[in-house]
């Protein structure tokens, strides 16, 4: 079996991404082939793409390049689910066309993980300004650690994120294929520090912890990161603005710098009425759909109204346990979430507690959820206002709206077609 020592994977084997540059899927495929060829032959490869909730990442193009290049040497593909529900066979085949379903392995974040090491509590305490005082377990799926791979290709999109600041890089490893304890603590670390201090920033407490784990516990894993940046062109269509491939942090830093230019949008003034559309193929729970709140909150005016058009949202959590937590406690704000953690009531579910904090408007603005999958009672019980989806979808017809400022029937409002692709600020 061929083996590649980690230090033989170059710090940056390929870098593409200039503002206003558009990479076609063919360009992206070719760049990935060239970068992977520069590593030399591989004998046993694992790919870690994002799941279907990151369908805009162009991960399917990168995965297809790896499959075409490595053939039988690509022995497994594990979507980095994190806490998300597993993908069905139909979803896998739709998101990753041309890749045999037999290669795919599910990630069980509650059971099938191994701990590589622990970030000391003293370090966590320091980077969180004393807000968290616990060690952080660096957990990954057992297959990642014990599969005997000579290349682990971690694929993902860099975009502003509510927990880590800028998504991807080592987050794909330690959260996407991580375990409950690590995911719980990283989510709570971000929430305790404050979502508005984290959004869109490269250096955050969670990123510092992931960097520590990467340096101290993952140096023997032959990981190569392939990071895309996706942004709108002049017509509003989503295009690949850059691809960054490398083993070290410089690939992530270059992708994050580009993302900060193409994925952070300025509204020009606080928004009194915001309308956000959630694609039913991508958003089926408020656990995912609350990106509508996370990514727009810095643009919302005091006393404003955020309308979430969510035809596919039919649950709160991505699994039954988290769904029960949300239904029981609701989105009551960061202070209430901290009380529940410190009292011990939610100390066993720190990720759930973090989500309750993140999903709250903290009384600054009203959140209106319009979905046919959850009842008025469901929506109002967790602290949001319910409204009729059919009525609001006619009033705010996305087919007639453009991203950004719109006017209809004398009302001015701001429209976001996909909150997962950016961060909006006043």
**Cα atoms found within 13 Å of the Cα of residue 419, Cβ hemisphere only:** 30
pLDDT score of 119: 98
Which residue in 351, 288, 302 sits closest to 325, CA to CA?
A: 351
Return d(Cα 335, Cα 415) in angstroms, integer.
30
Complete DSSP assignment for 175-233: TTT--HHHHHHHHHHHHHH-HHHHTT-SS-HHHHHHHHHHHHHSTTS-EEEEEEEEEE-
Return d(Cα 414, Cα 403) in angstroms, integer.
7
SS3 per-residue string spanning 147-163: CCCCEEEEEEECCEECC
Fold of 6-262: Rossmann fold (3.40.50)
List per-block mean pLDDT (blocks of 10 residues) for the chain, which spans 426 residues.
40 46 89 92 95 83 97 96 85 93 93 96 98 96 95 96 95 94 96 96 97 94 95 84 91 94 96 97 93 98 98 92 94 96 94 95 97 95 97 95 92 96 96
Q: What stretch(es) of the chain map to CATH 3.40.50.11440?
A: 6-262
- pTM for the model: 0.91
- Residue 316 token pair: 């709160």
Q: What stretch(es) of the chain map to CATH 3.90.226.30?
A: 266-425
pLDDT score of 11: 56
pLDDT score of 18: 37
Q: Tell me the CA end-to-end span of the chain in Å, nearest whole number.
A: 54
pLDDT score of 81: 85
Which residue in 101, 58, 40, 52 sits closest to 80, CA to CA?
A: 52
Return d(Cα 370, Cα 356) in angstroms, integer.
19
Residue 185 dihedral angles phi and psi, to the nearest 5°: -70, -35
Fold of 266-425: 2-enoyl-CoA Hydratase; Chain A, domain 1 (3.90.226)
């Amino acid at each position: 079996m061929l083996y590649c020592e980690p230090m033989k994977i170059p710090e940056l084997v390929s870098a593409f991404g200039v503002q206003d540059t558009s990479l076609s899927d063919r360009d992206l495929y070719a760049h990935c082939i060239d970068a992977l060829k520069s590593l030399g032959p591989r004998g046993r490869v694992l790919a870690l793409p994002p799941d279907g909730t990151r369908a805009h990442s162009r991960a399917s193009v990168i995965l297809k390049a790896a499959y075409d290049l490595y053939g039988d040497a690509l022995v497994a593909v594990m979507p980095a689910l994190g806490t998300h529900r597993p993908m069905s066979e139909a979803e896998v085949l739709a998101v990753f066309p041309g890749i045999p379903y037999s290669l795919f392995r599910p990630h069980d974040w509650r059971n099938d993980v191994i701990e590589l090491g622990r970030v000391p509590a003293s370090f966590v305490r320091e980077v969180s300004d004393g807000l968290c005082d616990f060690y952080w377990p660096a957990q990954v799926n057992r297959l990642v650690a014990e599969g005997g791979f000579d290349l682990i290709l971690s694929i993902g999109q860099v975009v502003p994120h509510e927990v880590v600041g800028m998504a991807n890089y080592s987050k794909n490893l330690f959260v996407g294929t991580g375990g409950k304890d690590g995911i719980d603590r990283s989510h709570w670390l971000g929430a305790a520090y404050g979502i508005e201090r984290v959004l869109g920033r490269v250096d955050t407490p969670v990123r510092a912890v992931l960097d520590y784990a990467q340096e101290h516990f993952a140096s023997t894993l032959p990981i190569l990161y392939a990071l895309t940046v996706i942004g709108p062109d002049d017509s509003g269509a989503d295009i690949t603005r850059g691809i960054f491939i490398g083993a070290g942090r410089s690939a992530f830093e270059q992708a994050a710098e580009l993302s900060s230019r193409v994925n952070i949008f300025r509204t020009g003034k606080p928004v009194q009425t915001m309308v956000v559309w959630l694609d039913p193929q991508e958003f089926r729970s408020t656990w995912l759909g609350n990106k509508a709140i996370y990514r727009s909150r810095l643009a919302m005016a005091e006393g404003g109204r955020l309308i979430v058009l969510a035809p596919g949202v039919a649950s709160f959590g991505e699994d039954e346990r988290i769904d029960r937590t949300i239904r029981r406690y609701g989105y009551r704000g960061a202070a209430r979430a901290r009380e529940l953690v410190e009292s011990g009531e939610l100390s066993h579910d720190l990720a759930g507690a973090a989500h309750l904090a993140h999903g709250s408007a903290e009384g600054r603005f009203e959140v209106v959820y319009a979905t046919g999958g959850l009842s008025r009672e469901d929506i109002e019980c967790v602290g949001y206002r319910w409204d009729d989806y059919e009525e609001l979808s006619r009033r705010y017809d996305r087919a007639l709206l453009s991203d950004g400022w719109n006017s209809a029937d004398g009302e001015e409002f701001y429209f976001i077609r996909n909150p997962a692709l950016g961060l909006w600020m006043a």
